Amino acid sequence: MVPIVAGAGGIATDWRGADLDIASDGRILVAGDRRTHRTALELIGG
Amino acid sequence: MTPGVLDQCLKLAQGLADAAGEAIRPYFRQPLTVDDKADLTPVTAADRAAEQAMRSLIESRFPGHGIIGEEFGRVRENAEFVWTLDPIDGTKSFISGVPLFGTLIALTRARRPILGIIDQPISRERWVGVVDRPTTLNGAVIRCRACPALAGATLFATTPDMFREGDAAAFARVSSAVKLTRFGADCYAYGLLAAGFIDLVLEASLKPYDS
């Protein structure tokens, strides 16, 4: 899923904004626009 | 990595998606025996048939590659190249006759994702992502849409039930800030996001073979 999102200009990270890998904890945030990704991350962090 | 190796892997990945679709289609909207796995997620003969078909193709083409499969476990998981397979992501949709499930195929090199496919075998839609290349849907290049503010965003999540305690509060903060929240699309949501129809996907219990 990560290359599909990245290759379309989107971003996929965990809930702290870190890149996903095989050891990620299952909490993920995917966005098509980096601006909404950043705002959503701020809301997730409280 | 040389383009040759990547293209060989891509060719195999396309073959895996073809094989999984062939295995899955005969079972869709047919009476099925649904088993509950240890983690209480449903599994069907279609899941098993699709994963077996994909594993045997990988074993014959790249016997040194690792495989992590949702139904049949792990082999050579420390290899340089490791395939992660989820034959039917969205089994609950599948067993309900909803064509929003998908076959997920991913390839990691040194644990980083380099190739991914989401294949919907009923609508015959296939998203292909390859590192440093544009994503395609059935061969056509697609792009996410611009969404400058959360107030205009469409958010997807598989189910509200996955968000527990603190996660539920975090999800509620995001959900209350967006224009529209929808549930239930599993991996299909990533395809919709890559094609520019939705803006955010939030999940709390994604497994390694889904990434």
The model's pLDDT over B73-128, given as tens digits with 9 standing for 90+, comes to 999 999 999 999 999 999 889 989 999 999 999 999 998 889 999 999 999 999 99
Q: Which residue has the tokens 């892997």?
A: B9
Cα pseudo-dihedral B165, B170, B174, B175, rounded to 10: 0
Chain A: closest CA distance from residue B100 (Å): 15
List the domain range (segments joined by +) for residue B163. 150-210
Contact A44 B173 (CB under 8 A): yes
Residues 6+ apart with CB under 8 A from B56: none
Q: Which residues pair with B81 in a beta bridge?
A: B109
Residue B120 has a pLDDT of 98
Helix extents (H) in B25-165: 45-61, 91-95
Percent of chain B clearing pLDDT 70 (strictly above): 92
* Out of A1, A29, A37, closest to residue B211 by CB: A1
- Asked whether residue B94 falls in the same domain as residue B197, the answer is no
Alpha carbon of A13: minimum distance to chain B alpha carbons (Å): 10
Quick one: pLDDT band at residue B211, thresholds 50, 70, 90? very low
Nearest CA in chain A to B86: A1
Containing domain of residue A31, as a range? Answer: 2-44
Sheet bearing B154-157, strands edge to edge: A11-14, A28-31, B200-203, B154-157, B180-183
Q: Which of B117, B144, B207 sits opposite A10 (nearest CB)?
A: B144
B84/B127 same-domain check: yes
Our count of domains for chain A comes to: 1
* Among A6-10, B26-30, B124-128, B144-148, the least confident range: B26-30
- Residue B39's pLDDT is what? 62
Whether residue B187 is found in the same domain as residue B117: no
CATH number for position B63: 3.30.540.10
- The structural domain count of chain B equals 2
A24-28, B32-36, B131-135, B162-166, range with the lowest pLDDT: B32-36
Contact assignment for B111 to A22 by CB distance below 8 Å = yes
Do B125 and B164 fall into the same domain? Answer: no
Q: Is residue B161 domain-shared with residue B193, that is, in the same domain?
A: yes
Nearest by Cα to B116 from B193, B1, B13? B13
Q: Which domain CATH number covers B165? A: 3.40.190.80
Alpha helices in chain A (DSSP H): 2-6, 34-44
Tell me the pTM.
Answer: 0.92
Give the pLDDT score at B208: 46
A contacts of B148 (beta carbons < 8 Å): 33, 35-36
> Looking at B116, B141, B166, which one is the last position of a domain?
B141
Q: For residues A12 and A28, give the distance between their C-alpha atoms in angstroms, rounded to a whole number.
A: 7
What is this model's ipTM?
0.96
Question: What's the pLDDT score for residue A23?
Answer: 72
Residues B201 and B133 in one domain: no
B175 and B82 in one domain? no
Domain boundary among B141, B166, B183: B141
